[in-house]
Amino acid sequence: MPEAPPRPTTPGSSERPVEPNEPAAGAPAEPRSRLERAADEVASWFGDADAAGRRQRDSAAGDHTGQGPAVKVGTDEQIRDELIHQLTADPRLDASKVKVAVLAGAVTLEGSVTTGAERSRAEDVAVAIPGVSQVNNRLLVA
């Protein structure tokens, strides 16, 4: 009887044979059935490390569109500098009489603006800065 041909190995490795239905290196795997995922869920509860690894790969797989990196939260000084820059650059706002203070992410706006719309706009600009947790708007309309 003729011998079976040797099974192919993974690229770059002559030691481990490629399993049937195993995706090529770097290729996305086919989604596993709900039954397979449920079986691995239960098996991982009882310490099956291989099942836990498959569950981890399942949770990492999928469409991650729109999931960017976490927002970088700056120090109070960085938040203050960015807010001053944004207030100065805003064409709908005269920030020449606005004072900005930041403490633990809480922004305080003091001073005066010419309209109620400018007062609201200053607060909106402050809220949009990453790291700002609260805005105390003490601006006066003068």
* DSSP sequence for 27-41: SPPPPPPHHHHHHHH
pLDDT of 56 = 84
pLDDT, one tens digit for every residue, the chain (142 residues): 556 555 555 555 455 555 555 555 544 556 788 898 899 989 989 989 998 888 888 877 766 666 666 656 678 999 999 999 999 999 999 999 999 999 999 999 999 999 999 999 999 999 999 989 999 999 999 8
pLDDT of 121 = 95
- Count CB neighbours of 37 within 10 A: 15
pLDDT of 54 = 87
Structure tokens at 74: 């700056």
Q: Which domains does the chain have, with CATH numbers?
A: 31-59 (no CATH), 76-141 (3.30.1340.30)
pTM of the full predicted structure? 0.51
| Per-residue DSSP letter, 73 | P
